[in-house]
Amino acid sequence: MNLRRDVFQAIADPTRRAILLLVATQTMTAGAIAANFDTARPTVSKHLSILTECELLEQHQNGREVYYHINARKMKEVADFIEPFRNMWDDRFNKLESIMKNYKSDK
């Protein structure tokens, strides 16, 4: 059975989130990415493989080097999914702030 990983499983890992932050502003090789972590390069390669499989990263080859860059369209899909939850929590915190202000002014 071949199970496909979910985007949210991929971003659940803190190392993979850190990799996404690294490549968000620049294209990088696996070696350049791995240099930012205190872990074995094969471990970073596995993280890159998962991020690529989930289409959060794209790769292209230039000579012998493979470069990784963020897939902005896929990241937008994630952001679009999360946005309603962000709005809901913003509303809740605003209501709580209003209640707390009223509570303080009553004292």
Half-sphere exposure of 73 toward its Cβ, with a 13 Å CA cutoff?
Answer: 3
Say how many domains are in the chain. Answer: 1
> Is 95 within a domain?
no
Q: Rounded to an integer, what distance in angstroms lies between the CA atom of residue 32 and that of residue 51?
A: 16
Q: Which pLDDT tens digits describe the chain residue by residue (107 residues)? A: 456 678 999 999 999 999 999 999 999 999 999 999 999 999 999 999 999 999 999 999 999 999 999 999 999 999 999 999 999 999 999 999 999 988 877 66
The region, left, alpha or beta by phi > 0 then psi within -120 to 50, assigned to residue 49 is alpha
Q: Hey, what are 71's tokens?
A: 């897939």
pLDDT at 1: 47
Q: Rounded to an integer, what distance in angstroms lies between the CA atom of residue 34 and that of residue 10?
A: 17
The model's pTM is 0.79
CATH number assigned to the domain comprising residue 58: 1.10.10.10
> Is 100 within a domain?
no
| Domain housing 64 | 2-81
